[in-house]
Structures are given as C-alpha cells and as structure tokens.
A and B are shown apart, each in its own frame.
Chain A
Amino acid sequence: MKADPRGVLSGVHFLDGDQACAEGALAAGCRFAAGYPITPSTEIVERFAQRVPLLGGMFLQMEDELAASIAIQGAVWAGAKAFTVTSGPGFSLMMEHIGYAAMTETPCVIVDVQRGGPSTGLPTLPAQADMQQARWGSHGDYELIALAPNSPQECFDLTIEAFNLAERYRTPVLLMMDEIVGHMTERVEIPPAEQIELVPRRYTTKPPAEYQPFAPEADLVPAMVRAGQGYRFHITGLTHDERGYPTTSVAAHDRLVRRLVAKIRNHAAQLTRVEEHFLEDAEVIVLAYGITSRVALRAVQMARARGIAAGLLRPILIWPFLEARLRQLARRPGLSGILVAEINLGQIVREVERCVGAQVPVQLAGHAGGSVHHPQELFEAIVQMAHAVEIER
C-alpha cells in the first residue's frame, strides 16, 4: 500500500527532528494524535496539529499523559492510525497504557524524546536513560518494538517504520528519540508518496459469525476489525480468551502471554535493523545508538587514523535486542573488547553483557546526560581498551 500523497510533503527540507517526526507520522497515514505538551517533544505535535486538520485528521490536547496514551488506542479501534509523543516524566505516566496496548494488541506509536532525568531532570537537554524503561516499564511479561533514530532524516524514516511495524505485529512501537535529534536541524529528504510503502492494517476477512478477535493467524498475530462494521468484539486488559472475554484460566493466560511474547521474539531476525562500520577486522567494537552512534563513528575514525582497528555496531532497532548478530561478532577471534557508549550510567550495556557473557570484555562509556560524549573522550576509551589487551598479551 502506497502513502496518501496528500500527507506527504515531498522534497528536500531543512527540518529539526521533531518536525521530521511529525511529517513521518503524516506520511505514514497517521490522522490522530493525542498529547500533553512536554519539552523537548512538543514541537512534534505542534506541527502535527497545524497540518493534520487539512487532511481530515485531529489532534487532541489531553489533561495528562495517561489520557493521551489511552485516547490514541480508542482512535485505533475506531480505525485510525494514531500516535502520542512525550518525554521522561510523561513517558513514566504512559507505562500502564503501553502495557494495555501490548495486552490488547493495539497497533500504535509512542514517541519518547529523551531528556535528562530522573524526574523532571533536564528538560532542554539530552539523555538516553529511558532505554530499559522502554523495555520493562509496564508490569507483566510482554515484548514490544523500539527504534532509535540518530538524525532528523531518520526521525522521518523511522516514524514511518514504527507505524509499519505496529501494524505488522499489532504491537505498541516506541520511537526513542533524544533532545538533540529532536532539536537539531538538518537536511531531510521526503520522497514522493509512491515511494513510501505502508503496511495496511490487518482486517479480518472472516464473516462476523466466525470472527474471533484474538485468534491468531499463522504468524501469531490476530486480525482486527473496526468498530461499527457489524462485528461484535470485546477488548480488555484482563487476561482474555480468543473471543476477547475475560478469563482467569491459567491455561488461557499461559497461551495468551506466551503468544504476545513469541509474536515478537520469533521474528527477531526480521526485526534486526543495524548499521555497521569497519567491523571486518575490528579489535575494539563500539556499540552505540541514537545520537551517540554519530559521535562514536567519529571516535572510531580517529582511532583508525592512528592505526587502531576499531569498528562501530549501531542497533537502529533496539528492542528486541540484536542478540544473534552480537553473539556472532563476539565469537570472532581477534576481538579484544566491546565498548558500549550511551548517555546513561549503564542500560544497554547490561543487555550486551547478557548476550556475550564472559566471551569478551564489555565496558561502559557512560554519560549522566545533558550533553553528548565528546569524540575525544570515546577515542581515549577505545585506545585504553586496545592497550589493555596489548599489555595482557
């Protein structure tokens, strides 16, 4: 399915990441957003609210983030594509409804433009410290998908990707931006509508009498219906059977939760999105994502210029984590260590440690937030890791 050209601002622009994200949502066919303003995410819905009425859509400013994150789910069940945007404190408030979207398999997009925390922290300055919250913030067992753009261009591209993945897997998808990619202005190329491929919502082809809203298809994802089309259906955050009705059956709960997890985990290979530089002969691999991946690439180039075999592994899709690729790289002879650079005091590094175990030393280059690492700082960490190994030899 191609994008509706009315929503696509084709051409070359000079936009910040927030504006590019709004354009990505419009290009993806999103016609409903609900939100509560919070720096540094507000510009996304500011632009969306200006543009979407001309396309027959709507923006609602809600009383808080709880309301915003559930309003979008109502819109989805009425047939719209919908998203909400927020930052740290608002993201915390949205956690319950992220779980609700996972449980009810409501395809929607939640954008978190990360700023320094905890609490209200640093409203106008960056961090990448919501990364584990994105994965585990809501209670119970579930899987979801999270993406991390590193430029305004990717804020556009990955917002479309987020909507597509949400529809493909019927899951909430999180776009984990940060204050810098949100507020930095760069070249953004928006392609013609006919070059933008959209995943349509999976509506059932069954007649109302045979339709079961939570009976999965072969890939474990069930088909949806739209309110008002003659289908009777029931949606609840309670454990439910295939008909959607609440149940306290242990067997039904096991079946449901295992399926919610498996529909993502079983597709982990298809869900890997990665950017790699100089990994062929790398002795030190720097793993970084979002804005930090750009600074890390500069540090890797500096190391290469001084004869140190450094490389960059950048997960673009963070959750589910790129386990298989990382394990494969960790087994390679000649690798002396993995340096994880992130604007937090140790979040994704835990995931890396879990994946590679004792095979290879893993080290954190953390930053408490408010800025990005300076390339020199990461360069020195690379040098140290390379030297530590030489001394051992």
Chain B
Amino acid sequence: MSEVEIQIGGLGGQGVILAGMVIGRGLVLYDGYHVSLTQSFGPEARGSACSAQLVVSREPVLYPYVTNPHILVTLSQEAYRRFVPSLRPGGTLIVEADLVQAVPLPDAVALYRVPATRLAEALGRRLVMNMVLVGFFTAVIGLPHPDSVRRAIRDSVPTGTEALNLAAFEQGYNFGLKQLAGKSEADILH
C-alpha cells in the first residue's frame, strides 16, 4: 500500500495541469506505475489558484486524493502559502526560484529551486516554463524515467510544438542534474 503523493500548485495559465499530465502519463504508460491524477481549480480560465495532484503506486490507487504530499512543487507564492503546511515531514519541495520565496520553510524538507521562467525565456517562449519544470522534476526526483517523459511530452503537447517543449524539458533536466552534482544556481547559469 505504499504510495507517493505529488502536488503541483500554481496559477491557472502556468501549465500546472499539463505538467501533472505529462508526469502521470510517463509514469503510467511507460514506467508501469498506477497513477490517479486529480485537479482542482477555480472557475476562472486564467489566474486562479490551481493544482494537479498525483497519487503514484505499484498497486491500484484506492483513495485518489492527496492529503500530505511527499513531493510539493509550487509555481506561485499563493500556492506555496496554501500547500506548504500539508507537506510531509522529510518531503521534497521544488519551487520556481523567481516567483516563490520559500519562507517560511518547514524543518526537515529537501528544497530545490529552479528558475524555470528564465530558462524558458532563454528558449524564446516563457509559455514552456512548465516543461522546464517537468525536466527539473525528472532529474531531482529520479522519476519518471527521462525517456518516458520525452515520449509523454510528444503525446501530450499540441502538434508542431513538440521540439520546443522537448527543448524546454532538456533545459530543466540538465539544470536539475547539475544542481544534484552540487553546483549553485549562479554556476549553472554561467
């Protein structure tokens, strides 16, 4: 019954749900996990708080809601404020480095910061910030398998945008690998 709960929170329009969809699709279709993905959002098309929640297991998932995430990703200060209190002790926290100040920071969590928006802007499209984030997630969490994510991205994004989205994934993935190797953000960006 061991399950991993993942929550990705941000604002409508940031691609939060698609990021969750790509991670879930990679895990389910290519890595053989059971995943239940649920989403919550406000009535507005853009700008309201939204989140994607994934329960990941080797067994079928019975209770589909995330209550205390093992892994929390926040792309807005509002999402950080709302979701950080439920992060499990010993959990992993990933934040968008420029949009989120990780304060107050709970004790005993592993914090990773990724300037996903800046990395996406370097590719010419801020819009693909979510795929940068997915790449970073894949590197630091070690799941899904990077090839599974690459396939899931091809399955999930609009036709004609595959190359851009994959480039964004590689940006985030490489940034994550370098951060794991102990380099600081400033080192990696230069």
Contact = CB atoms under 8 A, between A and B. Distances in A.
The winner among B43, B63, B65 for most chain A CB atoms within 10 A is B63
B97 interface: no
B36 A185 contact: yes
B29 interface: yes
Contacts of A372: 63-65
Contacts of A294: 62-64
B62 A14 contact: no
Given A185-B24, A295-B63, A180 B29 contact: no
Given A185-B36, A185-B37, A14 B21 contact: yes
A268 B24 CA distance: 40
Contacts of B28: 12, 14, 186-187
Contact of A186 (B35, B39, B63): B35
Contacts of B39: 183
Interface in A1-57: 12-14, 16
B45 interface: no
A114 interface: no
B152 to A, nearest CB: 8
Given A294-B64, A295-B62, A298-B63, A12 B37 contact: no
B154 interface: no
A298 B64 CA distance: 11
Interface residues of B, number: 19
Given A14-B21, A14-B25, A301-B1, A183 B63 contact: no
The winner among B43, B62, B67 for most chain A CB atoms within 10 A is B62
Contact of A187 (B21, B35, B43): B35
Contacts, number: 55
Interface string B28-65: 11000011111100010000000000000000011111
Contacts of A298: 62-63
B65 A186 contact: no
B43 to A, nearest CB: 8
A185 B65 CA distance: 12
A124 B25 CA distance: 23
Contacts of A295: 62-63
B29 A14 contact: yes
A282 interface: no
Contacts of B43: 124
A92 to B, nearest CB: 22
A361 interface: no
A375 interface: yes
Contacts of B37: 14, 16, 184-186
Contacts of B63: 294-295, 298, 372, 374-375
A82 interface: no
Nearest to B65: A372
Interface of B: 1, 21, 24-25, 28-29, 34-39, 43, 61-65, 67
Given A14-B35, A185-B24, A298-B63, 6 more contacts: A16-B37, A184-B38, A185-B35, A186-B35, A186-B37, A298-B62
The 3 closest A-B pairs by CB, nearest first: A185-B37, A298-B62, A14-B25
